[in-house]
Chains A and B, each alone.
Chain A
Amino acid sequence: MELTLDEVRHVAALARLGLTDAEQELMRDQLSSILGHINALNELDTESIPPTASVAALQNVWRDDTVQSSLPREQVLMNAPRQNEGCFEVDTPLGGEESSS
């Protein structure tokens, strides 16, 4: 299971990671090794096993619509490298507008 450098660069771009040439090589090797490991699953005969999106034998696990208290703001922000006006501060992302769901 050998990833190409182009695939590594594509995944890095999606994750907004800038990788040096050497890091790209390193990531190719490591990711390839991980995928190779997972790929071992393909050796299993799954002919008689129905496909599923969930391995837990659970469904309809939900809660009532009630409000409980949130974390104190000091705790919410305690690990933020930069804080400002009670918010996390970041450099404005390219484009400058909100992502749209």
Chain B
Amino acid sequence: MEAGSATVIMVQFAIFARSLETGRGVEIDVTETIASTRFETVIGLEVHAQVLTKSKMYCSCSAEYASAEPNTHVCHVCMGLPGALPVINREAIELCVLTGLALDCTIAPFSKLDRKNYVYPDLPKGYQVSQYDLPLCQNGTLVFESNGEPVTAGITRVHIEEDTGRLLHRTASDGSDISLVDLNRSGVPLMEIVGEPDLRSPEHARDYLIALRQILRYIGASTGNMEEGAFRCDANVSLREAGSTEFGAKVEIKNMNSFRAVERALRYEVERQQGVLEAGGTIEQETRGWVDARGVTVGQRTKEAAHDYRYFPEPDLPPLALGADIVERIAARLPELPAARRARFVEAFGLGEPEAAILTGERETADYFESVCESAPAEGRSRLAANWILNDLFGLQRERGLPPDRMPVSADQLAGLLDMLEADQISARAAKELLAQLGPGETAIDKARSLNLLPLDDDDAIRTAALETIEAFPAAADDYRNGKKAAIGRLLGETIKRTGGRARPDAARAILEELLNSPS
């Protein structure tokens, strides 16, 4: 291979994100990292995210298509009937600008929409209304963490466009292939977020996507749900000789439907290109599809003149002039972003980095944590709250099959439970039991009472349990009397168990010691 023929693999991802997968739910592929000193991997991602609006981009049909009957959220505009007049959904523009602001983009003071022409059955108008040369947002950055290191990736642009309909493939009774067109998704607002080829590994790509998705969820611009197609990703991958500054022929990878698929597909593609280059071959610029079941990328038939989209300004939609006043008003909607919140959690609550990262994974979880902490400024509350959320509430959440942004009990309920723990009104064991039983609208204290989980203050009852225990475990009792003081542990545990876990350990211990030390 010639030295100059930069074999950069630039991967561009277009992400269709709408999964409930979150950073903490993401499976990490543990296959070994590709190590090549000869080549550098260059990846750029292109994400398509569904903008979280109620209605469509250019008409007032419902944007909800996941559970609707086919072709029930359709009108003359989104089915492309002649003479229909589209009108821009202001909220979609605002959420696109909000995304640009969250990614440190420059917001265009003047922007317009353009027609991108191509023919396909899922595109009833024969063109998609998108943005060509004047996107809403440009020149941003996304800073994310990968392998404990901060990585800064450029954001080329964020623009607004519309989704296509959906095709359902069937085999007709005569054996021919037919497709059924459902236009419910036609005209649903999408943002295209194009990243610079600044990513250097499949892990970077995965972590970039997780961080981007988290931001979109924080600002309420998209659900980021990848499985449902609300967050879709395409990647441009190329390899180049280490040290080269030129890019090699890029291969576009499509059809990656999860974070894990993105990482696996890229890993496969990098290795494939490496193999070709090391064997003295050259990389063809092409589009390849990821076949998840087989774990390979395969070349896709490329349509001739596929990129001849004949863009021109959309004559039915006047341009957008977003003055400083409008942008300022949109900026006021920006919440504290995940990275800042993570840092503040470490600083203000004394949490470790990993805990802070998990607690700020979903905005709702972070709000929940803060609300539980606020209710009691007691020293140690944040630690306790963090432990309970990370260990017990997440566990219960998984058990009950709740989405990651929904907690099994309310913040008030957890605060009540922690109040009791802090006041030593309930044992840790009983508190766990209480958590599992706590239903909607019940307060922790009332429920603890009705479940008999409050500590047993009745010394006689504890004494009875202790006597029973000593009788049942004479060997341990003798050990203790013969000087093996540690043997009391066994007896203590059993005594508490016999009170249904309600005896306070110190009270039970005192009574046991008294019984064992008194001459029998």
**What residues make up the interface of A, taking CB atoms closer than 8 Å to B?**
10, 13-16, 53-54, 56, 58-68, 70-71, 73, 76-77, 84-101
Chain B residues positioned under 8 Å from A66 (CB to CB): 54-55, 60
Q: Is B121 part of the binding interface, using a Cβ–Cβ cutoff of 8 Å?
A: yes
Pairwise interchain contact B87-A63, C-beta atoms closer than 8 A: yes
Interchain Cβ contacts under 8 Å between A and B, 30 examples? A14-B117, A53-B112, A54-B112, A54-B313, A54-B318, A59-B320, A60-B318, A62-B87, A62-B90, A64-B90, A66-B60, A70-B75, A73-B69, A76-B74, A86-B72, A86-B182, A87-B70, A87-B71, A87-B168, A87-B182, A88-B183, A89-B180, A91-B177, A91-B179, A92-B177, A93-B120, A99-B118, A101-B48, A101-B128, A101-B190
Q: Smallest CB-CB separation from A87: which chain B residue?
A: B180
Among A16, A53, A100, contact of B119 (Cβ-Cβ < 8 Å): A16
Confirm or deny: B93 has a beta carbon within 8 angstroms of a beta carbon on chain A.
Answer: yes
B139 at the A/B interface (Cβ < 8 Å)? Answer: no
In the complex, the answer to whether B91 meets A89 with C-beta atoms within 8 Å is no
A62 touches B167 (CB 8 A): no
B112, B305, B321: the one contacting A13 at CB < 8 Å is B305
Bound-state Cα–Cα, A21 to B48, Å: 41
> Bound complex: CA of A56 vs CA of B301, how far in Å?
42
B72 lies within 8 A of A70 (CB): yes
Q: Is there contact, CB below 8 Å, between A99 and B55? A: no
* CB nearest to B72 among chain A residues: A73
- Given A54-B313, A70-B75, A101-B190, also A91-B178 (CB < 8 A): yes
Q: In which size bucket is the chain B interface?
A: 35 or more
Whether A61 lies near B168 (C-beta < 8 A) is: no
Q: Residue of B at shortest CB range from A99?
A: B120
Docked complex: B99-123 residues within 8 A CB-CB of A = 112, 117-123
Please state if B167 and A71 are interface contacts (CB–CB under 8 Å).
no
Residue B432 is within 8 A (CB to CB) of chain A in the complex: no
A15–B177 CA distance with the chains assembled, in angstroms = 22
Binding site for A on B (CB under 8 A): 14, 48, 53-55, 60-63, 69-76, 79, 87-93, 112, 117-123, 128, 130, 161-164, 166-170, 176-183, 190, 192, 234, 254-255, 289, 300-301, 303-305, 308, 310, 313, 315, 317-322
Main secondary structure on A side of the interface with B? loop
Question: B60 and A76: CB pair below 8 A?
Answer: no
Q: Taking A61-B88, A62-B88 as contacts, is the C-beta distance between A90 and B179 under 8 angstroms?
A: yes
B93–A62 CB distance below 8 A? yes
Collect the chain B residues with CB atoms within 8 Å of residue A73's CB: 69, 71-72, 74
Q: Which residue of A lies closest to B120 (CB)?
A: A99
Q: In this complex, what residue of A is CB-closest to B167? A: A98
Q: Are B318 and A76 in contact, with the CB atoms below 8 A?
A: no
* A64–B119 alpha-carbon span in the complex (Å): 31
B308 to chain A: which residues have CB within 8 Å?
Answer: 10, 14
Q: Which of B76, B112, B181, B310 contacts A87 (CB 8 A)?
A: B181
Q: B84 to nearest A CB, angstroms?
A: 11
Query: Do A65 and B53 touch across chains, with their CB atoms under 8 A apart?
Result: yes
The residue in chain B whose Cβ has the minimal distance to the Cβ of A64 is: B90
Closest Cβ–Cβ distance, residue A44 to chain B (whole Å):
19
In angstroms, Cα B486 to Cα A28, docked, is 101
- Residue in contact with A65 in the complex, picked from B90, B168, B315, B320, CB distance below 8 Å: B90
Question: Given A62-B87, A86-B70, A90-B181, are A10 and B305 also a contact pair (CB < 8 Å)?
Answer: yes
Determine the chain A residues whose CB is within 8 A of the CB of B176 once the complex forms.
Answer: 91
List of A residues within 8 angstroms of B118 by Cβ: 14, 99
Specify which of B73, B91, B301, B303 is in contact with A70 (CB 8 Å cutoff).
B73
Chain A residues in 8 Å Cβ range of B167: 92, 98
- Please pick, from A76, A90, A97, A99, the residue contacting B183 in the complex, using a CB distance under 8 A: A76
Instruction: Kindly provide the distance from the CB of A99 to the nearest chain B CB, expressed in whole angstroms.
Output: 4
Partner of B161, one of A64, A89, A90, A101: A101
Most chain A beta carbons < 10 A, residue from B161, B167, B176, B322 = B167
Given A54-B313, A63-B90, A71-B76, are A94 and B301 also a contact pair (CB < 8 Å)?
Answer: yes
Give Cα distance in the complex from A100 to B271, angstroms: 26
Complex: how many Å from CA A56 to CA B300?
43
| B299 smallest CB distance to A (angstroms) | 12
Interface centre among A54, A65, A99 (most CB of B within 10 A): A65
With A67-B54, A101-B164 known, 11 other A-B pairs at CB within 8 A are A14-B118, A61-B87, A62-B87, A65-B54, A65-B90, A67-B60, A67-B63, A85-B168, A89-B179, A92-B179, A98-B167
Report the Cα distance A54→B317, complex, angstroms. 8
| A65-B318 contact given A13-B304, A90-B179, A99-B123, CB 8 Å threshold | no
Tell me which residues across on chain A come within 8 A of B54, comparing CB atoms: 65-67
Residues of A within 8 A of B79 (CB): 76
Complex CA gap A91/B171 in Å reads 10
Residue of B nearest to A72 (CB): B72
Inter-chain contact A65/B178, CB cutoff 8 Å: no
Q: How far is the CB of A64 from chain B (nearest CB, A)?
A: 6
How many Å lie between the Cα of A66 and that of B130 in the bound state? Answer: 21
Q: Is the CB of B90 within 8 A of A67?
A: no
What are the 6 closest A-B residue pairs judged by CB atoms, nearest first?
A87-B180, A65-B91, A53-B313, A92-B177, A58-B318, A68-B60
> Smallest distance from the beta carbon of B274 to chain A beta carbons, Å?
27
A77 to chain B minimum Cβ distance, whole angstroms, is: 7
In the bound complex, do residue A61 and residue B70 qualify as a contact, i.e. CB atoms below 8 Å apart? no
Complex: A79 Cα to B75 Cα, angstroms: 14
| Complex partner residue of A86 from B55, B71, B162, CB under 8 angstroms | B71
In the bound complex, what is the Cα–Cα distance between A11 and B321 (angstroms)?
34
* Known contacts A65-B53, A87-B180, A88-B181; A15/B90 CB under 8 A: no
In the assembled complex, the Cα of A70 lies from the Cα of B63 at a distance in Å of: 11
Q: Which residues of B are found within 8 Å of A63, using beta-carbon distances?
A: 60, 87-90
